[in-house]
Structure 1
């Protein structure tokens, strides 16, 4: 039987507060983000890929009127505008080894705080591991209050899987999510890979996403399912 041609369309990610599931694994970070009263006016938010850093940054920006910029996209001409209000700088460790971007972030850090606005910075690991080459910048980041998103518990992993499916307009039964929570690697990145693999395989074989299909993907690995397309 010929396989259906499939198209890997991008998922439409929902980034509102109502789309963020709070569990013991992230409750402290959510509370710190929501408080918006940070010592020195700055906060570092860390967590593994897919843990919700970008989601929380968007929630925070919507509630404060803040702007969001990737650290690697910082430019000299953008600094005054960014510093004129609350600003979130994402993926700061990406500019380790980039002295020019680090100097720009240092300038943004000082100007934003001098004007009395909040500064949020994100990265996968705790700030002590960001290995920035500019000592003054690294020390100021390490001196910021730190909120960590922890690896997911069962409730959070199930909610993340459900959201990833809904982002792709997929609605598998609760038995599918329960099976995945029990048997898959316990990480946000693994959840994203697994949902993508199930989407590709279900589309290629013109099947609903069932527990049996989930068993196949986990037994073969998400990459194996992707190789069919």
Structure 2
């Protein structure tokens, strides 16, 4: 069944990485998080209290929901959200919970070590998120390296096929675009098995649908992504 697209002003894309500040993003609107086996371990740990050393790190590939989980945890517990590159011990306040994203994108090792030490002395809780496990984070400081390696690290795995279909439907709905579930399933089974590929595809479909004002049928999607028709049923790259 073809669903007409509602044309309206396009909202900001919450799936993209956000620009963070030292103030908590309590007003940021996120879509509902979709529970799945791939993120079950992370959800279980985030529902607990009493993490070892009061620190926890979520890690996994791009676009697996780490930032979403981190923001949700911080909002519910009134924590401060920052990126790792913004860590500055001189600006640490008395907040008891901190959520630190994008650890793999770089940080001041001295500042991070002081931050962790100060948090430990103050009994503060820290949630980190990274695309890589803590053992692979580069640092020349042995003390920092030992603290990172000793941290409890929980992997957020790549999404299952069922979750990928739900994500495509959700991300398009956030852009006021409807897609039938059978069409979304057909599309997902022909794309690389990464959420990053799904996000890129959604952006392309959004642009094409907005310009043409056509519904997202298989025929129209194949016009937008002709590579999908080259080998039916196989995973094909999306540029």
Q: Same fold (TM over 0.5)?
A: yes
TM-score, length of structure 2 as denominator length? 0.80
Find the counterpart in structure 2 of residue 15 from structure 1.
Answer: 30
Offset at 1:45?
0.4
Is the helix fraction higher in 1 or 2? 1
| Aligned residue among 52, 55, 74 for 2:68 | 55
Q: Which runs of 5+ in 1 are unaligned?
A: 1-6, 224-229
Offset at 1:186?
0.9
| Aligned residue among 85, 89, 96 for 1:85 | 96
| Aligned residue among 177, 184, 189 for 2:184 | 177
The answer as to 2:140 corresponding to 1:133 is yes
Structure 2 distance, partners of 1:187, 1:45, is 18
Offset at 1:9?
6.2
The answer as to 2:125 corresponding to 1:123 is no
Structure 2 distance, partners of 1:216, 1:136, is 55
Flag the 1:55–1:12 CA change in 2: closer, same or farther, 3 A.
closer
The answer as to 2:54 corresponding to 1:41 is yes
| Aligned residue among 157, 168, 175 for 2:164 | 157
Contact 1:21/1:156 (8 A) holds in 2 = yes
Q: Which runs of 5+ in 2 are unaligned?
A: 1-8, 16-28, 228-236
SS of the residue 1:26 aligns to: helix
The answer as to 2:117 corresponding to 1:106 is no
Instruction: Encode CA deviations 1:27-71: one digit per residue, 9 max, x unaligned.
Output: 111111121331111001001111111100111101221111001
Find the counterpart in structure 2 of residue 4 from structure 1.
Answer: none
Structure 1 distance, partners of 2:211, 2:14, is 20
Instruction: Encode CA deviations 1:178-208: one digit per residue, 9 max, x unaligned.
Output: 1122111111101100100100111222212
TM-score, length of structure 1 as denominator length? 0.83
